[in-house]
Structure formats: C-alpha cells, structure tokens
Structure 1
Amino acid sequence: MCKSRREFTRSGGSSRPSRTRRQAAGVVRMIIALILAGGAYTLFTPAAQAQEEPRLSAAAAEGEALFEVGCITCHGRSAGGVEGRGPSLINVGGASVEFQVGTGRMPLARQEAQAQRKPQLYTDEQVRQLAAYIDSLGVGPVVPDNVKAMVDDANLARGGELFRVNCSQCHAFGGGGGALSSGKYAPSLYPASDRIIYAAMLSGPQNMPVFGDSTLTPEQKADVIAYIQQVIQSDHDPGGFNLGRYGPSTEGLAVFLVGIVALVFASLWIAGKS
C-alpha cells in the first residue's frame, strides 16, 4: 500500500512538468512558424504590391487642387454636384471640361438660356489638368493628344461634305452661327481651335448633338476640323464682302434691298424720261 502510493506520487510528480514543457514547446513552435511566414511574405511579395499606388496622376492631382479652389462651390466635393447650382461631373469625361473651361464658358457668370463664350480664366495647361481630374472620376470621352497631327493629314474635300451635311444647319454654311429655339443659339466657329471643336463633337454641349466615334470616326472629325480651320476660318473672300457669312439669308436680303430697289428707281427714272 505504501509502496504503490509512493510510485503514484513519483509518477504524478513527473507528469506535470512534462505536460507544461510540451505546452511551452508548442507555443514556441507557433511563434517561430508565424515569424517564418511573415518573413517569407515580406521576402517574396513584389515591392509594387507592398507600396500603395498613388490615387491620381500628377496632372490629375494638380487638377483636383484647382477644382477645390474654383469649382467645388457649384459642383460639390468629388464633383458630385450641388442641387440648384451645378450638375455632377462623374462620368462626364475630359472632353466636356476642355470645351466648357477652355472657352471661358465655365466658371459660369450667371444662369441664362445658354452659357456664353468669355475670356479664358485658366491656362491651357490648367484646363488639361482639370480635364485629367474629371476624367479620373469615371468613364467619359477624352480628346486625343494627337489632334493637330490628325488635322494636318486630313481630307479637306471630305471635311467640306461632312460639314455641309452635319453642321451647316445650325452653324450656317459660313460658320457664323445662328439662332435656335428658347433663346439658344449655335455659336460662331471663327475663334474655335482644333481641340475645342473636337471636344465639342465628343461632348455635345448645350443643343449640339454628340458625334461619337460610331457617328463620325476620329479621321472624319479631323476632316471637319481641317475644313473649318482652312476654309471657313480663313479670310479669303473671293466674291467680295462676306455679308457676315450667315449664308443665303443675308445674301437674299442684300439682293432684295440693293438690287430690287435699284431696279425700281431705274424703272421710275426711265418712265419719267419717256
């Protein structure tokens, strides 16, 4: 009896330390495994993934700073729009910004039927930066960087045909613009640059329809721009006084006022002489 009790005490006393050692060894092994796993992840993970990528490009970041100073009052934070002041610019695209800001229509002076062209408030570089920021907020049309090269290689004859079919109804055959309904109008094309015209065709400002790439290909857009710049915007008037280049309306009025009146007076003079 005493012997078995001593053996039990001896065996029980030796089992407790061994169990504690096994638990401690398990904890140590787990810590070592975690350290090794963390080291392996750090070693084999690419540096590009470990570093956080910049949210915006350099141009877009500059555009965001400009937006927060000059545009946030009407268009809200992150260009989400403000009710009664300005619409959301999400998914508008950089082309709309280049047209509206590049022609001075924005910032808007006052609410009226149509935004009027004004002296440009931002430089061309700042306009591009604002366009880059708005373009980063969604998916929208963007003016390509090689517009000038495309226009230099354009087909003038085809551009004239496309202009007469798609543009002359509103902008007139001479590009002088014309009146539309509800106090709106088609503006003159004389001061428009190649990028501004391209941006207008992509974004369709105010009453102008959108001429996407499925309607007019980029090459056809370049043809139209070349025709506007090399034919309409030039000062060549081989027929004499251009009468404002408003098309047949002014020409017909001039013929009636000058020609018919001259014929009437000539008839009266001949009748008096006879």
Structure 2
Amino acid sequence: MAGLLVLLLGLALTGTAYAAFAPAGQAEQAVADQELIDEGRELFLVGCAFCHGQNGEGVLDVRGNQLGPSLVGVGAAAVDFQVGTGRMPMVQPGQQNPSKNVAYDEQETEALAAYVAALGPGPGIPDEETYSSDYLDDLSDEERDAAINRGQQIFLTNCTACHNFNGAGGAMPRGGYAPDLKGVSEKHIYEAMQTGPSQMDVFSDGNIPPENKREVIAFLNTLDEEPAYGGFTLGGLGPVSEGLFAWLIGIGSLVGFAVWIAAHTTRTKKGKAQA
C-alpha cells in the first residue's frame, strides 16, 4: 500500500506541475510563432505577392505562362535559400534568378520563411549540426579522407553533369546555367540539395542521406584548398574553354610560327636578293 500511495502521489505531483507550467509555455510559443508568421505575411504582401499571389498560390500572366510558381509546400528551407542568397525578390521575371545582394535581413528572412512554411509542409531550415563539416575535426586522418572521398564520389555521380568536376558551374539548356559553388555557404549548399532551386534536381534524404550531404559539402570545401596541378585552370569549365584555348592560342601560335619560318628561309632571302 505504501508503494502504491507513493506512486499515486508522484503521478499527481507530475500532472499538477505539467498543468501549471507546460500549457503556459506552449501558449507563449504559439503566440510568438503566430507573430512571426504575421510579420512574414506583411513582408510577403509587399515584396512577393505580385508574382506569387497574395496567398502563395502562384500567378499566371495574360498568356497563361507561369509568372511566379506556387509556394505551397516548398518549405522554409526554400525561402531561406532564395532570399538568403539574394535570388529573391527577382529584379524581373526570367529563365533563372541570379544571386545578388540580399534585400532582407536575417529576421525578415526568418519571418518570410515562417509564413511560407505555414502554407504547407515542406523542408525546414536545417540546424548547423546537420550541414556543418566541422565534424571532420573530430575524426582521424583516415576517417576524414574516407568521408571526403565518399562526398567526391557522390558529387561526381550526381552533380558534375551541371556543376563541372570542380564545382565551377557552366551553361545549361534554355538559357539557364549551373552556378559556381565556390564561396557558397554550407547551409545554402545543403538547402539547395534539399529544395532543388531553378533547374536543379531535388535530392531528398531518401536519395542522399543527411550524412552524405555533409560529406559532399566537405568535399566542396577542399576544392578551394587544392592547388591546380595542371597549370592554367581556365576557369575550370572543362573541354569548352580548353578547346577554345587550344584552337586560338595553341594552333594559332603554331600557324604564326610556321609563317615566320617560311618568311626566313634561305629561298626567301635569295629571292629578295635577286629582286
């Protein structure tokens, strides 16, 4: 009986404490979240509704073409990437929105992300532990090299067709392009893999798990540290820039050298002397 009474007393105290404190904390959090969503809606109506609609439903132009896509279900991560890199708001509608100076500060970006996230479920803004490559510092040299090699193989398999083998980017069909990945923050690279901006594919956690995404980021970080063993990188754009260099500089130099040799042969000098 004594044990039973102690158990009942413990349950009563626990329930009383939860009823006294938990609902108040949850209510305060709900109020704070709603205030952030309301702030985001005000910013959205001013800077985003013209293309995306007042409720994020998307807008078509008079010809029926998509002026701004629907934002329902894109998630907070998409907003954090697009707004945090300056791609949104766009200066004018186009095939692809380039990165530029950001128009909103961190608090405004957070409010916009909260409002869009409230429109429908989607990828949330990742925590720093999810995307940061600092975890490599806690690994041995062998484990670190193995993680970077796995990231390299994943990148070579899934990303080099557009971003090139060293992340320099390049031209894409229909007026698009794959941006240069050097200098891009780790969070924005992770969010890009999550959300698939513009022509990029979406790499969900089912396709590439979070730990493998971090390994890809770790590999990309090594590209800035790796020296150019081959000499001139020519922007790292691959066969296009290398072929152009070979034709204009390489073959052009050979043709010029051949003309110079022909102009300074013995026959040429003898012909000039007879004249």
Alignment TM-score, normalising by the size of structure 1: 0.71
Whether 1:64 aligns to 2:38 is: yes
**Cα gap change, 1:149/1:186 in structure 2, threshold over 3 Å: closer, same or farther?**
closer
The within-5 A match list for 1:209-224 is 209-224=201-216
What are structure 2's unaligned runs of at least 5 residues?
A: 1-15, 62-66, 137-146, 267-275
Q: Distance in 1 between matches of 2:228 and 2:163?
A: 18
Deviations 1:3-57 (A, max 9, x none): xxxxxxxxxxxxxxxxxxxxxxxxxxxxxxxxxxxxxxxx9xx566799946846
Q: Would you say the 8 A contact 1:89–1:134 is kept in 2?
A: yes
Match in the other structure for 1:99: 81
Assess, with a 3 A threshold, how the Cα gap between structure 1 residues 238 and 180 changes in structure 2: closer, same or farther: same
- 2:175 maps to 183
**Other-structure match for 2:200:** 208
Distance in 2 separating the partners of 1:129 and 1:253: 48
**Percent of residue pairs identical:** 41
Deviation at residue 193 of structure 1 after TM alignment: 1.0
The question of 1:230 aligning with 2:222 is answered yes
In the TM superposition, residue 58 of structure 1 has moved relative to its aligned partner by 3.0
Q: Give the C-alpha shift of residue 255 in structure 1.
A: 2.5
Question: In the alignment, what sits opposite 2:11?
Answer: none
Matches within 5 A, 1:35-114: 46=19, 53=27, 56=30, 58=32, 61-69=35-43, 70-84=47-61, 85-114=67-96
For residues 59-97 of structure 1, what are the alpha-carbon distances to aligned partners after superposition, in whole Å with 9 as ceiling and x for unaligned? 563353133133344434443444445333221111111
Which region of structure 1 is more displaced relative to structure 2, 126-135 or 86-95?
126-135
1:171 paired residue number: 163
- State the AA in 2 paired with 1:241: F
Comparing 222-231 with 130-139, greater Cα deviation is found at: 130-139
Unpaired runs of at least 5, structure 1: 1-42
Identify the residue that residue 141 of structure 2 maps to in structure 1. Answer: none
Residue 221 of structure 1 aligns to a residue whose secondary structure is helix
In structure 1, how many angstroms separate the alpha carbons of the residues matched to 2:210 and 2:261?
61
| Count of residue correspondences | 230
Paired position in structure 1 for 2:4? none
Q: Deviations over 1:152-198 (max 9, x none)?
A: 23522221221111111111223222111221111222242111111
What whole-Å deviation, never above 9, does each CA across 1:207-260 have from its counterpart, x for those lacking one? 1111011111111111111222231x4584344332112123212321232222
Q: Is the 8 A contact 1:174 1:247 kept in 2?
A: no
Specify the code of the residue in structure 2 equivalent to 1:79.
G
Partners of 2:59 and 2:249 in 1: how far apart? 54
Residue of structure 2 in register with 1:17 after alignment: none
Worse-matched range after superposition: 253-262 or 102-111: 253-262
Equivalent position amino acid for 1:164 in 2: L
How well do the aligned residues superpose, as a CA RMSD in angstroms?
3.1
Residues 172 and 87 of structure 1, relative CA distance in 2, 3 Å threshold: same
Equivalent position amino acid for 1:223 in 2: E
Q: Does 1:263 align with 2:245?
A: no
